[in-house]
Amino acid sequence: MTRDTGCVKTGATRVTFGMRLGTIMLDVTAIRRDFPILSQLHHDGVPLVYLDNAATSQKPEAVIRAIENYYRDYNANIHRGIHKLAEEATAAYEGARERVRAFINAASSREIVFTRNTTEAINLVAYTWGRVNIRAGDVIVLTEMEHHSNLVPWHMLAAETGAHLEFIPVTDDGYLDLGAFDRLLELHPRLVAFTHMSNVLGTINPAAEMVARAHAAGAVVLVDGAQSVPHLPVDVRALDCDFLAFSGHKMCGPTGIGVLYGKRALLEAMPPFLGGGDMIKRVYLREFRPNDLPWKFEAGTPAIAEGIGLGAAVDYLTGLGMAEVHAHEQAIVSYALDRLHEIKGAHVYGPPARDRGGVAAFSIDGIHPHDLAQLLDRDGIAIRAGHHCAMPLHDRLGLVATARASFYVYNTEEEVDRLILSLYRAMDLFGV
């Protein structure tokens, strides 16, 4: 890495040397050029400000091109074909699996199962590991801040098996009550499942500490990484979690592809999730033998193009550096929180910027979040409004809905300023 020009090339974009503390800061201007949609003009020719990244991220040209190249140059089914196109497609798809393994530091690519999304990955664990290991009277510990994807599968499992669900409370300032967690662990739960980062509050939970406490109590641990893996460094061996679930579309990748990481011994002991082609080693009329890991959980033709696209997204984020991604988002969300706190009648939910990712959920007195989102859209600003698939958390906060601005590597302080200006316009319109 040289300093003569003040910047260096890393993959599809650049980083610049910061003056404060000798840090390396992302060159956001260069990054924005990698995302074609960000040059789009919105209503009345205003530039798009995309602040809905917790729902899905935008895609860089490198990912779009990787998917296009698959369909244009070597489209074929994978694993069983012996012709050139099939071999190229298989190599690209399985190469993506290896890049995902390295990205989260799993011990083996056999521990990386491709699913459709985080939701399917969690359901896979509930249907396979859960139905083998959970019995009547067993305790499953969740939290009050979970996304529905990490609630409903366990509701269904508990209703089927007679297990009991218990919940770690959320404090008024947006943290998990770890004292209450310790008391719940005295019940010796079979499973503890929690989000690494809240999609509403932005709270980054102390995952490694929670995993260690849960393991000491004899529990298996699933971590919902849908909001953490795209935004900060995640090392599954350092966390020591048993399962980790996340989605490609929130980390610059395409929709329709997600990941379940599982420790190999656990995955080996779990029965298949779906039956059909590719998940088998041998089929007889009256029985079958399942395939090896990870393919025994990947029935049928998979999302090949999407898997290849996810591999390209991992390459892109690796080139940026996940520590730099996280630092950029914390700087942006810190600025956004400061600006939101300037607004009279605005309420911001969750912890300080130092303990959260790039998410800011808020409300403004006298304006429903849905009306707020619609008015912001007229100014070219895309945010999310509603319960964000976290109804129990909103119940805990005494809210029906919130507005949510969520940030990523391509967002800027200038876009935050546009958000704030548009909020003031909405307040003027409503007379608040």
- d(Cα 37, Cα 56) in Å, to the nearest integer? 13
- d(Cα 197, Cα 126) in Å, to the nearest integer? 21
The β-bridge partners of 195 are: 224
Q: Which of 7, 241, 252, 389 is catalytic?
A: 389
Cβ neighbours, 10 Å, residue 15: 21
389 is catalytic: yes
Separation in Å, CA 286 to CA 7, 282, 283, 289? 64, 11, 8, 11
Catalytic residues: 389
